[in-house]
Amino acid sequence: MKRHSLLALTLCGLVAACDRDRPPGQEPAPPAVTIMTFNVQNLFDNVDDPGKDDATFLPLSAKQSAAHKAGCAKIEVERWRDQCLNWDWSEPVLKRKLAGVAAAILQVNDGHGADIIALQEVENAAIVDRLSFEYLGAANYGPSILIEGDDERGIDVAFLSRLPLTEAPVLHPMTFPDYPDRQGDTRGILEATFLLPDGTPLTGLAVHFPAPFHPVEMRVEAYRQLNLLRSRLPPDHAVFAAGDFNTVSAEMVDGGMLDRYVRPTWQIAHELCDGCPGTYYYPRDDNWSFLDMILFAPPRGEKTTWRIRADSVRIRNRAPEQVTASGTPKHYDGATQSGVSDHWPLSVTIELAEKQ
């Protein structure tokens, strides 16, 4: 591992997984990097952002106008309509939300958080930066990596990372020609390339696929576009895709979604997790799904490579605020200021190893 050797030493000082505290005489652990994905369920600020559907996420004092009430009245789902009218998304409520998200993230790496986090359902770079600098300061993340997309609700995908970028990130819009009336309820794929401790480029693809109420063909098309991006990357890049794939267990198993569109190209991290039920729970069906996944593909043609550490895959759900009394994800309730998210975060460690 001669390339970028000086930079590798510098990076090891930044990455929490490096063995800084190795006892004398003990063999050094291989360089390692931890990746997390977390759908943080509507992480909005409390300021009206033009172009965003953020009427629910405002202080009650800003919800008293006739225009606001008329807008909320158009919402068909009663629960969402009530939230739009009556939730007080005040500073104390928002602080509680940010603190809960931060506590969930800091379960990794002895309180330092994952080295790279893919986030879904965030409103803008400002709220991700606030999470990073006010609530995750000890984790030493850089500024948020987020490019505004065209989702009609105004939610985006983002990265937080301790690893440096090698080039400017790119947002690849997804297109669904067969469903033009549903295009607005979609997010693009955020591509960012980081530098691993040995100098290997690591390209991350952050995703938030169309929700399960959309036709399955839309998720098939999303996988197709993801795999096309993967195929165009240089062969010396390690690659991961992380996020909310919105693929329910029935589509994974009965529909063969993973067999057709994932396993030929990717390693599926959660399949190495013994006893992990899923990251999302559907009470109506009493059913778990891995809506959230981390997929990994090592670089090709190298004598050494990056691989998933088999015993490292974890669902992070130890913070009390994350779990209901029945042991399922506890969504954030702005009225009671309880819970964190309706998804649990998933994490995995990749490490450098000799090819077999």
Between 8-22, 243-257, 264-278, the lowest mean confidence (pLDDT) is in 8-22
8 Å CB contact between 56 and 84: yes
8 Å CB contact between 307 and 298: yes
In whole angstroms, what is the distance from residue 347 CA to residue 237 CA? Answer: 20
> Looking at residue 356, what is its pLDDT?
58
When pLDDT is cut at 50, 70 and 90, the band that residue 353 belongs to is confident
All residues at 6 or more sequence positions from 218 whose CB lies less than 8 Å from its CB, including other chains: 176, 179, 182, 186, 209, 210
Entry pTM: 0.91
pLDDT tens per residue across span 121-159: 999 999 999 999 999 998 999 999 999 999 999 999 999
Q: What is 289-325 written as a DSSP string?
A: E--EEEEEE--SS-SEEEEE-TT--EE---SGGGB-T
8 Å CB contact between 150 and 184: yes
> Looking at residue 318, what is its pLDDT?
87
pLDDT tens per residue across span 158-193: 999 999 999 999 999 999 999 999 999 999 999 999
> Looking at residue 159, what is its pLDDT?
98
> Domain limits of the chain?
32-46+95-354
pLDDT tens per residue across span 257-278: 999 999 999 999 999 998 899 9
Please state which architecture CATH assigns to domain 32-46+95-354.
4-Layer Sandwich (3.60)
Of all helices (H) and strands (E), which one includes residue 158?
Answer: strand 156-161
